[in-house]
Copies of this chain bind each other. A is one copy, B any other.
Amino acid sequence: MSGGPSTVTGDTQRIAAELIGLEEGALRRWCDGDPSGFLEISADDVVYFDPFLERRIDGLAALTVYYESLRGKLYAPRFELLNPVVQVVGDAAVLTFNYVSYGEGGTASRWNCTEVYRRTGDSWRLIQTHWSFTLARRA
């Protein structure tokens, strides 16, 4: 890292904008039934949690099998990515946000999300994804 604090802040802001853009692009495709947006930005060693799984998914091959089982099945005409925060540590960055997707009947689903990205060269790839329901109930 070169330069003073203002440069560091500028770097963080630039990276934050880039990662939020990546995430929104993948979410847009996800909400149109297309999981490839997320698969294209996930690293080989990605790990993944969501509330429908009994245990963590490890690795892009296993995540691909899971996501392909959902292809064409999920639609949301509208979503909101709320209050994003990006924390940068060298070539790692943590993006956290609250997320609301609106179903075709207007029903809102509320989520917490943590994404961890790793930079290799100029490319950021997801190494960890954790989706959970906001104010969930136990199974």
With an 8 Å Cβ cutoff, the count of chain A residues facing the other chain is 38
The dominant DSSP class at the A interface is strand
The answer to whether A128 has its CB under 8 Å from any CB of chain B is yes
Q: Say which residue of B90, B98, B132, B136 sits within 8 Å of A55 (CB atoms).
A: B98
Known: A96-B128, A98-B56, A130-B130. A47 touches B136 (CB 8 A): no
The residues of B that contact A14 with a CB separation of less than 8 Å are: none
Question: Are the CB atoms of B58 and A127 closer together than 8 Å?
Answer: no
Interface hit among A20-28, A73-81, A111-119: A111-119
Q: Say which residue of B52, B116, B132 sits within 8 Å of A116 (CB atoms).
A: B116
The answer to whether A60 has its CB under 8 Å from any CB of chain B is no
Question: Are the CB atoms of B56 and A85 closer together than 8 Å?
Answer: yes
Q: Give the residues from 63 to 112 in chain A that come closer than 8 angstroms, CB to CB, to chain B.
A: 83, 85, 87, 89-92, 94, 96-98, 109-110, 112
Query: Which residue of B is nearest A119, CB measured?
Result: B89
Query: Which residue of B is nearest A58, CB measured?
Result: B85
Q: Say which residue of B49, B83, B89 sits within 8 Å of A114 (CB atoms).
A: B49
Question: Are the CB atoms of A136 and B139 closer together than 8 Å?
Answer: yes
Taking the closest CB of chain B, its distance from the CB of A101, in whole angstroms, is 12
The answer to whether A40 has its CB under 8 Å from any CB of chain B is no
Known: A49-B114, A87-B47. A55 touches B134 (CB 8 A): yes
10 A-B contact pairs sorted by A residue (CB < 8 Å)? A47-B87, A49-B96, A51-B135, A56-B97, A58-B85, A87-B127, A87-B128, A89-B89, A94-B116, A114-B128
